[in-house]
Amino acid sequence: MKDVTIYTDGACKKNPGPGGWGCIMIYGEHEKTLCGGDLETTNNRMELQAALFVLEK
């Protein structure tokens, strides 16, 4: 079984304020990127959202 490498990040323009998250999953030669955001959130929520979203995939 191959390993899947995952990188995540989340940020906000103000805290709280508009923010976004992103992640990339790398499996062998394959890569998949995912992203999302909210109009009113915190940087901590975006960091957690990235990790939770990718774990659900």
* pLDDT score, position 1: 64
Does 24 score more than 90 pLDDT?
A: yes
| Chain centre to alpha carbon of residue 13 | 16
Q: What residue ranges do the domains of the chain occupy?
A: 4-56
**Integer CA distances (angstroms), 24 to 14, 16, 39, 51, 53, in order:** 24, 25, 22, 10, 11
4-56: CATH topology is: Nucleotidyltransferase; domain 5 (3.30.420)
Q: According to the model, what pLDDT value does residue 56 have?
A: 85
pTM, full prediction: 0.85
Query: Do the beta carbons of residue 20 and residue 55 sit within 8 Å?
Result: no
